[in-house]
Amino acid sequence: MTPKDVLADLARIKAVPVIRASKLEHATCAALWLAEAGMSVVEMTLTTPNVFEGIAELRKRPGLIVGAGTILSAQDARLAIAAGSQFLVTPCWVDGVVELAKAANIAVFVGAATPSEILRAHMAGASAVKVFPAASLGGPAFLKQVRTVFPDTSFMPTGGITVDTAADYLAAGALCIGLGGELAPARALEAGDRAAVIDKTRKLLARLSPPATIAV
């Protein structure tokens, strides 16, 4: 998938689940439960042990877009690309990552918390800017304000977003949103609570895709 393809799909899906787990099997289960609930994209974080194995395995699942998050070095990016990641996500500016993503022709979301950081990421060629940590920075109001001076930049706010606030970020102009423990909390993964993950994910999808109005 090209960066343009990924952006188009994320704009349609509207949300990216960020999976962070203490064990690879927990992270893989979470990804499969999310897919079962109707979510067709996952971001697997590099803080999860043996995550590259998980990314490679999940890439075998038809229709699932798999990305790698918490990229903290160029080497992280190389390994994620080799595992088959279709997009990369950093929490901040990381030297070399944008260049590697461009060379591999995959999307890259660069983390930023200030207008200066947003401009740097955009000018470097980031596919979109990950506003992080979004809730702590001011939430939808912050996003709405920065979009007035960066109208040509795509944003994926992440950090502290909940099912209840998700739609507010889209209304403020987000391309899509990132949610971590809100959809797949550690306690649910450790307990094998498939129902809790599926239920919360379906609630989110319902909030983001309200029923269409029927003309009469």
For residue 132, give the 3-state DSSP assignment. Answer: coil
Task: Specify the amino acid at residue 16.
Answer: V
Task: Point out the residues that are catalytic.
Answer: 43, 130
Please name the residue that has the structure tokens 């379906």: 202
Burial call 116-154: b when 16+ CB within 10 Å, e when fewer:
ebbbbbbeeebbbbbbbebbebebbebbbebbeebeebb
Classify 159 as helix, strand or coil.
coil
